[in-house]
Chain A
Amino acid sequence: MIPTIPAELLRLLIFTVAILAFVSLNALILVWLERKLAGHFQVRPGPFEVGPHGLLQTLCDGLKLMGKQLVAPAAADKRLFWLAPILAFAPVFLCFLPIPFGPTLLGMEFEIGVVLILAFTGLSVLATILAGWGSNNKFSLLGASRAVSQAVAYEVPLLITVLGIVMYSGSLNFSEIVAMQGSWPWQWNIMLQPLGFFIFFICSLAECNRAPFDLPEAESELTAGFHTEYSSMGFGLFFFAEYTNMVIVSSVGTALFLGGWHGPFVDGWWWFAAKVYFLIFVMMWMRWTFPRVRFDQLLNLSWKWLIPLALINIFYVAVLVKI
């Protein structure tokens, strides 16, 4: 039987299972790490009692979350309400597909991998909108409306900076973009386009709704924003999606700007993982340092600073390519 199954299909199947396992484990560890870092940034230990240094805390929290009742508000649009968390989580598999974790360790070789990722990360905004609209709750709706204008504002500079990399490498294929960069830090794209990386990083923070740009779920203003009405694993899936999105944007940043799986001495997936988790660490560091921006500040930052800077960056890249 086995020889009749196409190798490509088998590879996809293994990839799906592996990614599912990775995503679940990653979410558990990142939530723990987030709480632990939040603690240590405030000179307290964070979760400590469950397991060694609180390592099993998120596992227990997850089990508790699964044991809870799934409740939908009476006046909610039930179909949209339950579609939203699934839609938030579903594109994750597609987004991991073209990311090269190692020289041969990737789901599928895509000629247009960059476009694929940019297209499907945009879907998470749709999930946020559906959640906010379907909940029939003013906080959720406000969170959703914020998510829309935030996404529109920050997709633009993000796309322009990514375009800079694509122009420089002449390829939309992640593997080729990574292969063009060398092993040592001064051979990475970040050395040529530091401004591009800076803008990309800020935009990716805003894209996955991380503090200081977490306006769609601003706890102090909107209770929990778009996921106010969600309980049990409905909320759990949003949570999963948030932490997985962090990995995705960090992976894209690593592949585009930080040399991917290249690294000093021995190339391999370990360099990729180290860079991704370093970027995630910086995101958490920023979350526990900076206060949330006001909404007009958020939009001003994008339209008045990031987009002009991104345009300057792409002009600079164009000159660079011609030389």
Chain B
Amino acid sequence: MTFFEDIRQAIKGLYSLVIGLRITGRALLTKTETVHYPRQTVDNIDTYHGHIEFVPTDAPDHYSKCIACGTCARNCPSGCITVEKAVLPPEIGEDGKPQKPKKAKYPSLFHLDYNYCSLCGHCVENCPTNALRFSTDVYLAGFSREDFEYDLIERSRKALEDKE
């Protein structure tokens, strides 16, 4: 009986080959999904996770909810975030002498080196004030490494200016 069983299997196999051809044949006739980038761009980038940016606020001179605690920088496995607290101008104390300068609750510098970022999102998740989010910058292209190093405070300031 194995002889007839072999023949049955062979016919079944041949039929499966025809099914395969039918599937690829149908694919050949469907319209391609590709977006030809320089001439066309995709429109649904709302869910895209690009590099981090500040959640826009109207806070003066640092334009963010950032309190410069440095949690993001400490949690970054790639070490691509540099945060510096702003330093307030020294106040004159009660004894008339200038006191030790106080650190402010906002950053003077928030530097992101996107070249090393692995987009893990630890910075966004651990931010105590939810000051960070992912941007929707899809079309990034540059000729040097420096093109992908961002000053996020400067970036927020520009975004605010463009809005106004």
Residues of A within 8 A of B (CB): 37, 39-45, 48, 285-286, 288-290, 305
Contact = CB atoms under 8 A, between A and B. Distances in A.
B88 interface: no
Contacts of B21: 285-286, 289
A40 B32 contact: yes
Given A41-B24, A289-B17, A289-B23, 17 more contacts: A39-B32, A40-B27, A41-B28, A42-B27, A44-B34, A45-B34, A45-B36, A48-B36, A285-B21, A285-B24, A285-B25, A286-B21, A288-B24, A289-B20, A289-B21, A289-B24, A305-B10
Interface of B: 10, 17, 20-21, 23-25, 27-28, 30-34, 36
Q: Is the interface of B mostly helix, strand, loop or mixed?
A: helix
A287 to B, nearest CB: 10
B5 to A, nearest CB: 14
Contacts, number: 35
7 nearest A-B pairs in the assembled complex, by CB-CB distance: A289-B24, A289-B20, A45-B32, A41-B24, A44-B34, A40-B28, A45-B34
Contacts of B23: 289
B24 A44 contact: no
28 contacts: A40-B27, A40-B28, A40-B32, A41-B24, A41-B27, A42-B27, A43-B27, A43-B30, A43-B31, A43-B32, A43-B33, A44-B32, A44-B33, A44-B34, A45-B32, A45-B34, A45-B36, A48-B36, A285-B21, A285-B24, A285-B25, A285-B28, A286-B21, A289-B17, A289-B21, A289-B23, A289-B24, A290-B17
B17 A37 contact: no
Contacts of B28: 37, 40-41, 285
A305 B9 CA distance: 12
Nearest to A48: B36
A200 B131 CA distance: 70
